[in-house]
Amino acid sequence: MWTRNSVFPVYYHHPKDKTDVLTLEIMEDAAKLLYLGVLGVANDLN
């Protein structure tokens, strides 16, 4: 997939943070991803 000028790099807790790029939806997706990752590690049988 190729995108042109529609996707910007997003930095978290970094001097290059741009608050206008960080949206509630991005933060919600990041929180869900973190939750699912931690849940996966916690339920790993190995």
**pLDDT tens-digit map of 13-29:** 677 777 777 778 878 88
C-alpha to C-alpha distances, 28 to 4, 23, 46, nearest whole angstrom: 24, 9, 29
What are the tokens at 21? 């790029």
Please give the torsion angle defined by the CA atoms of residues 17, 23, 26 and 27, in that order, rounded to the nearest 10 degrees: 80
Report domain extents, the chain. 9-46
Distance between CA atoms of residues 24 and 10, nearest Å? 13
Which has more pLDDT, 28 or 4? 28
- pTM for this prediction: 0.55
Q: What is the pLDDT of residue 2?
A: 46
